Amino acid sequence: MTRAREHARAAMADRGVARMPGVAPGAPVMVVRRTALTFGDKPVEYRVSTIDTARHEYVHMLSRPA
């Protein structure tokens, strides 16, 4: 992986997400969509994460190559 692109947004839990323990339908969550790219900007990973913001926080650390 040479770089990744992430998009985060606030949302309300739908029925599928509400199956997570302790998450009610309509509860606030954060949805993070990530695409990891390799050489030539070829995608090697696509992930959608749903975060229960009442119990967890989203942390993104940025750094430059050495």
pTM above 0.75, yes or no: yes
Q: Residue 10 domain-assigned? A: yes
Predicted pLDDT at 64: 66
Residue with tokens 């030539």, as numbered in its chain: 40
Q: Residue 61 domain-assigned? A: no
- Tell me the residue range of the domain where 34 lies: 3-52
Task: Categorize the per-residue pLDDT at 9 as very low, low, confident or very high, splitting at 50, 70 and 90.
Answer: very high
Q: Residue 65 domain-assigned? A: no
pLDDT (tens digit per residue) in 13-65: 988 888 888 889 999 999 999 999 999 989 999 999 998 888 788 787 777 67
Q: Residue 42 domain-assigned? A: yes
Q: Residue 66 domain-assigned? A: no
End-to-end CA distance of the chain: 15
Q: Residue 29 domain-assigned? A: yes
Q: How many domains does the chain have?
A: 1
Q: Residue 48 domain-assigned? A: yes
Beta strands in the chain (DSSP E): 3-12, 28-38, 42-52
Q: Residue 60 domain-assigned? A: no
